[in-house]
Structure 1
Amino acid sequence: MARTDSRFASPPFFLFSNALIWISAVIVMGILSYFISQNNYVPGRIIYEEVISVLTVAFFLISFILGTYPGYILLFNIIFSYLWLVSVVFTAEDWSYEYAGALPHCVEAFSFIAFFFLLFNVISDWHRGYGGHVRTTSAV
C-alpha cells in the first residue's frame, strides 16, 4: 500500500471550517446589502463590514483549493481573521443593545462565527505546516 503524507491531507474539520466561514460571509453580505439598500445614509462601519464579507466570499473560494497545502494559506487566514475581528468589534459596538432587532443580531452572530473559525484555521494551519516545532536551521 502507498503511504500518504498526512501533512498534505486536509482534515475534514478544516474543510468544514472553510465552508462555515464562507457561508457566514454570504449571510453577513446579504443582510448588510439589505440594510444598505433600505437606507439613504449608510455609516462607514457598515460599508467596512460589507467590503470584508464581499472579499471573503470572493477570495475565500481559493481556500478550498489551497487548503490541502499546509502553510500556503496561513497568511491569508491571518489577514482575514484580523479583518473579521475588527468587524466583530464594530457590530458589537453598533448592535449589542436589546432592541436592535433580529437581523443586526444575526450579523453580529455570523461575524463572530466567521472570526472564530478563521482563528481556528490559523492555529490549525500553523500546526499542520510546522508540525508543532520550529526549525533553527535551514533544510537543504
Structure 2
Amino acid sequence: MAFGRAPRTSHTTTTGTTTRHHADRRGVFHPILSLSNILVWLSSVIVLGISAYEIRQFKKYAGSDSYPGDRLVYILVIAVLTVAFFLLAFLLHPRPSYTLLFNLIFSYLWLVSVVFAAESYSSRYVPSIWHALEAFTFIAFFGLLFNILYTWWQWHRAAPRTTTVV
C-alpha cells in the first residue's frame, strides 16, 4: 500500500451485519489508460510542432511584428500546456478522481481547439499541414474523451458497495 495505492486484488470486509465488496483496483499500471495517455501526449506534441511552425512561417513572411491570429495561438498554448502537464497523468493513475478531473479540464480546452481548427482549417484550399493540425486536434480530444469515460467507469467500479447480510 505504498503511496496510498489500493491493493491489486479484490477483497471483502465484514463488519457486523454489513458486507462491503471492494472492486478490483489495479495499482499503478492501467494499460488501456496508459496507451490513451500516450496517444493524447503524442498528438499534442505533433499539434505543438505544426502550430509553432505555422506561427514561425507567418511571422517570417508577414513581418516579425505581425500577429498570426488568436485561434492558432490558442491551439499552440493548449498543446504546450498538454505536453507540459499531461505527464502528470501517468503519476495520477492510482487516483481515478484526480485523473477524471484532470481529463475533464483538458478535454474542454481541447474541445475549443477542435472547434477553432474545424472552423479555420476545413476548407479545401488550405495547405495539407493545416488538415494534419486539425486531425491531430481531433485525435487528442477523442483520446481525452475516452480517458474521461474510462476513469469514470473505473472510479464508479472502485466505489465500495454496501449490502446487508440477513
Q: Which secondary structure state, in structure 2, belongs to the residue aligned with residue 23 of structure 1?
A: helix
Structure 1 unaligned spans of 5+: 136-140
Contact 1:20/1:114 (8 A) holds in 2: yes
Give the letter for the 2:154 counterpart: R
* 2:8 counterpart of 1:4: yes
Moved over 6 A (4+): 132-135
Question: How many residues are paired up?
Answer: 133
Corresponding residue of 1:18? 37
Question: 1:122 maps to which residue?
Answer: 148
Task: Indicate yes or no: 2:55 matched with 1:36.
Answer: yes
Percent identity between matched residues is 50
Aligned equivalents of 1:111, 1:92: Cα separation in 2: 9
Q: Match of 1:60, SS?
A: helix
Measure how far apart 1:84 and its partner are: 0.4
Q: Specify which of 88, 97, 104 is matched with residue 123 of structure 2.
A: 97
Deviation at 1:134, TM superposition (A): 9.7
CA contact (8 A) 2:44 2:83 kept: yes
Q: Which moved more, 1:17-26 or 1:96-105?
A: 96-105
Match of 2:132 in 1: 106
TM-score (norm 2): 0.75
> Which aligned pairs between 1:55-70 and structure 2 lie closer than 5 A?
55-70=81-96
RMSD (Å), alpha carbons: 1.9
CA separation in 2, counterparts of 1:50 and 1:73? 23
Per the normalisation by structure 1, the TM-score is 0.88
How far is the alpha carbon of 1:133 from its aligned partner?
A: 7.2
Contact 1:25/1:56 (CA < 8 Å) preserved in 2? Answer: yes
Structure 2: stretches of 5+ with no match in the other structure: 1-6, 10-23, 60-66, 162-166
Match of 2:113 in 1: 87
